[in-house]
Amino acid sequence: MTAWIDASCILIVFFALAMLATHRLIGVIQLFAAQAFVLGFVPFFLHAHDLSGRDITLALGTLVLKAGLVPYILFWAIRRVSMRSEIKPIIGVGASLIFGALLIAGAFWVSLSLKLPGKPLSDLILPCSLATVLLGFMIMVTRTLAVAQVLGYLMMENGIFLFGLSLFDAMPVIMEMGILLDIFVAVFIMAIVVNHINEAFERSPGSNRGKMGESG
Amino acid sequence: MILPALIFVPFTGALLAFLPLKNAARCFLFLAVALVHAGLVASCWRQLPAAQFDGALVLDPLGLIMLSIDTFLFLSLAVYMIGYFEHEQRNNRNFMACLLFVLSAMSVVAMSYHMGLLWVSVETTTLLSAPLISFHRTPQSLEATWKYLLICSVGIALALLGTFFLAIAAHDVHTLLLPSLLNGAPLLLVNWLKLSVIFLFVGYGCKMGLAPTHSWKPEAYGQATGMVVVVMAGALTQCAFLALLRVSQICHKTGLTEFYGSILILSAVLSLIVPALFVLGEKNIKRAFAYSSIEHMGLLVLGLGLGGAGVFGALFHMINNALAKVIMFFTAGSIAQKYGSARVGDVRGVLHVYPVTGVFLIVGFLAGTGMFPFATFHSELMILNAAITSKHYVLAVVVVACLALVFVGIGRIILEAAQGEASAPVLEKKENIFMNTAIGLGAAGLFVLGVWLPVPLERVIRAAAALVGA
Q: What is the dihedral of CA B31, B34, B36, B37, to 10 degrees?
A: 170
In this complex, do A117 and B117 lie within 8 Å of one another by their Cβ atoms? no
Cα distances (angstroms) measured from residue B209 to each of B122, B228, B236, B290, B295: 14, 16, 10, 10, 10
In this complex, do B157 and A163 lie within 8 Å of one another by their Cβ atoms? no
B157 contacts chain A (CB < 8 A): yes
Evaluate whether residue A60 is within a structural domain: yes
DSSP-based helix, strand, coil % in chain B, nearest 5: 80, 0, 20
By the 10 Å C-beta count (0-12 exposed, 13-18 middle, 19+ buried), B50 is classed as: exposed
Closest CA relative to residue A40, chosen from A57, A20, A52: A57
Evaluate whether residue A216 is within a structural domain: no
**Is residue A178 scored above 80 in pLDDT?**
no
Chain B residue whose CA is closest to A192: B131
ipTM of the complex: 0.87
Who among B120, B137, B167 is closest to A178 (CB)?
B120
* Phi-psi domain of B214 (left: phi exceeds 0; alpha: psi -120 through 50; beta: other): alpha
> What distance in Å separates residue A135's CA from the closest CA in chain B?
13
Evaluate whether residue A36 is within a structural domain: yes
Chain B residue whose CA is closest to A118: B171
DSSP codes joined into one string, B397-435: HHHHHHHHHHHHHHHHHHHHHHSSSPPPPSS-S---HHH
- Please write the tens of the pLDDT for every residue from A127-175: 999 999 999 999 888 887 788 888 899 999 899 888 887 776 566 776 7
Percent of chain A beyond pLDDT 90?
23
Chain A residue whose CA is closest to B160: A160
DSSP codes joined into one string, A69-94: IHHHHHHHHHHHHT---B--BSS-HH
Question: Domain ranges in chain B?
Answer: 256-470
Residue A165: its pLDDT value, please?
79
Residues of chain B with C-beta less than 8 angstroms from the C-beta of A190: 149
Interface probe, candidates A113, A195, A196, A211, chain B, greatest B C-beta count within 10 A:
A196
Q: How many domains does chain A have?
A: 1
In this complex, do A117 and B167 lie within 8 Å of one another by their Cβ atoms? no
Residue type at position B133: I
Whole-number Å distance between alpha carbons of B59 and B65: 10
Give the least confident one: A31-40, A85-94, B368-377: A85-94
Whole-number Å distance between alpha carbons of B129 and A9: 35
Q: How far apart are the first and last CA of chain B?
A: 31
B114: helix, strand or coil: strand
Mean of the per-residue pLDDT values of chain A: 81
Residue A86: its pLDDT value, please?
60
**Is residue A206 scored above 50 in pLDDT?**
no
Residue A33 contacts residue A60 (beta carbons within 8 Å): no
B52: helix, strand or coil: strand
Residues of chain A with C-beta less than 8 angstroms from the C-beta of B174: 169-170
> What distance in Å separates residue A160's CA from the closest CA in chain B?
6
Residue B41 contacts residue B5 (beta carbons within 8 Å): no
- Please write the tens of the pLDDT for every residue from B113-147: 999 899 999 999 999 999 899 888 888 888 899 88
In this complex, do A175 and B134 lie within 8 Å of one another by their Cβ atoms? no
In this complex, do B171 and A117 lie within 8 Å of one another by their Cβ atoms? yes
Domain span at A200: 2-211
Cα distances (angstroms) measured from residue B190 to each of A192, B29, B170, B470: 42, 49, 10, 22
**Is residue A58 scored above 70 in pLDDT?**
yes
- Please write the tens of the pLDDT for every residue from B436-447: 999 999 999 999
Percent of chain B beyond pLDDT 70?
100
Mean of the per-residue pLDDT values of chain B: 92
> What distance in Å separates residue A80's CA from the closest CA in chain B?
17
